[in-house]
Structure 1
Amino acid sequence: MSEFDPSNPDHIYFLCSLALKAGKNAMVYFHQDIEVETKDNDSPVTIADREGEEIIIQGIESRFSKIQIIGEESSENGLPDTIEDKFFLLDPLDGTKEFINKRTDFTVNIGFIDKTAPICGIVYAPALSRLFFTLDGKAFETDIAPDDPIINQETALHTKLSAAKQIQVRPKSDDGLVVVASRSHLSPETETFLKELTVKEIVSAGSSLKFCLLATGEADIYPRHGRTMEWDTAAAHALLCAAGGVVHDIDGTILGYGKRERGLDNPYFIAST
């Protein structure tokens, strides 16, 4: 099989199983003291990042062999010469700093891009037992612990996923916005931006989980005036859009993917409901 269909439950559930397996593997290292390497861009990387990406890539290649795959760790030595119209975009461990510091808000991310648009996303937060995924343009959440045997039981897993709860962003409220932001990335630009809003609460969270909190109705807006890469955002961006949200840059342009001329570096953006 080589074609991928984001409206096919079997295809989506297969990707979910890969995210779950990568998350299960990450949790083995989460409970250990592990070596932390520093990449050329000064970001940290661990064996959990590398093994997680290997699990996901091997799985995708076994089933969708003709579709290009771009992953954070495999791109360390350079991007492909050509980025195709359709490709998978992976971050096997978003929030490596959170992971290293034994915080629970790190995620496994599998996104699918079609002509610059993120049309499918799977996000798994293993330490929180929260799995988010898109299917046929809708967004869903279910709870699966990383040590749950169901991860390796295809039929039981599909049954569980088919009963997942559909999620949607919440309606606008008159009593102020719940803002979600990274612990380490509340920049001066973000603080200036927030002064223009009626803010009820600022919730601190790491990784792509911030998008997920918007998608589930737990928050309203996520402003990011700091560097991110496309693999950091693709899967959760797709999830948020499927839940009724939007992601655009600070000029109002919808955030797109496959920007090789930028090295897959995102502009500053605002994710909102």
Structure 2
Amino acid sequence: MDLAALLEPLGLACREAGEAIRAVRRRGFDVAHKGDLSPVTEADHAAEAIILAALARHAPGIPVVAEEEAAAGRIPDLADAFFLVDPLDGTREYVRGGDDYTVNIGLVVGGSPVLGLVLAPEQGRLWAGIVGGDAWVEEAGGTREPLRVRVPGERLTVVASKSHMNQATRDFLAAEVPEAELVSVGSSLKFCLLAESAADYYPRLSPTSEWDTAAGHAVLLAAGGRVDAPDGSPLGYGKPSFLNPGFAASSGWRGPLLAPYMPD
């Protein structure tokens, strides 16, 4: 599989999906709720349809696990390689009128992410990376800059979720990185901040779905970062129900283990 050849058409699909999401916002929309009570809108479904069509054209035969398809019970049999798609990560932020939501396409091979694209539609910025290859961010005007994580300074910049901050995360931050500067950001943008040297650490002690993380995880790895499970092992994919119990993403260094702080 020529991963580099996939980046251009999938990047265009992300941008098309982003425009569809913005169009729904301009004309207004209703909000429904799925079985887990998370919100879903017309924009989620419109963006997912665009991405699924693009993957069928440019990567035929590779299974795709997409958030809204999975919510409807339509999950394909997995192979060694499969895509994980979150067409609108940060729906809560989107519904509230916030700007930090994203479109995400990740490719997993052998349980590890190898390719990722993350689009921030409101900023027009597209982050992309191939693990072991290049990572870059493309601005709305088409200019690209390479991505590389930074070496942490004396004071860490830690990013955390806007919508999913919990007591376990507060306890961890207070005990392990008490002097850190804390920045709250929605969606997979947290991975992108690490990849572009704007932050150092992203601990997550509440559950996420694999389609929430695969794309950003791949971009961060391609930029020289890492993502560890609570026990310090690399975060893997293809788990039961596609759930991540927790993880720590960083700009290349291994932070303290999350395991002692994970909620029961």
1:80 aligns to what SS in structure 2? coil
Gaps spanning 5+ residues in structure 2: where? 252-264
Q: Where does residue 30 of structure 2 map in the other structure?
A: 35
Out of 2, 7, 10, which is 1:5 matched to? 2
Aligned pairs, number = 249
Q: 2-side partners of 1:224 and 1:38: how far apart? A: 24
TM-score relative to the length of structure 1: 0.88
| Residues 18-56 of structure 1: per-residue CA shift (max 9 Å, x gap) | 001000110112233310010011111001100100000
The residue type equivalent to 2:236 in the other structure is G
- Asked if structure 2 preserves the Cα contact closer than 8 Å seen for 1:177 and 1:198, the reply is no
Q: 2-side partners of 1:81 and 1:48: how far apart? A: 23
Out of 15, 18, 34, which is 1:20 matched to? 15
1:31 aligns to what SS in structure 2? helix
* 1:219 counterpart = 2:215: no
2:69 aligns to what SS in structure 1? coil
The residue type equivalent to 1:205 in the other structure is V
Q: 1-side partners of 2:144 and 2:198: how far apart? A: 18
Q: Where does residue 233 of structure 1 map in the other structure?
A: 213
Q: How does 1:62-211 map to 2 (within 5 A)?
A: 62-78=57-73, 80=75, 82-135=77-130, 137-144=133-140, 160=142, 164-174=144-154, 176-195=155-174, 196-211=176-191
Gaps spanning 5+ residues in structure 1: where? 146-159
| Residues 181-203 of structure 1: per-residue CA shift (max 9 Å, x gap) | 11222211111111211533111
Range 110-119 or range 75-84, more displaced:
75-84
- Asked if structure 2 preserves the Cα contact closer than 8 Å seen for 1:178 and 1:199, the reply is no
Q: 1-side partners of 2:119 and 2:138: how far apart? A: 10
State the percentage of identical aligned residues: 41
| Residues 145-180 of structure 1: per-residue CA shift (max 9 Å, x gap) | 7xxxxxxxxxxxxxx4xx521111111211x11011
Q: 2-side partners of 1:81 and 1:73: how far apart? A: 13
The residue type equivalent to 1:48 in the other structure is A
1:202 aligns to what SS in structure 2? strand
CA shift in 2, pair 1:134/1:81, >3 Å:
closer
CA shift in 2, pair 1:26/1:237, >3 Å:
same
Question: How far did 1:253 drift?
Answer: 1.3
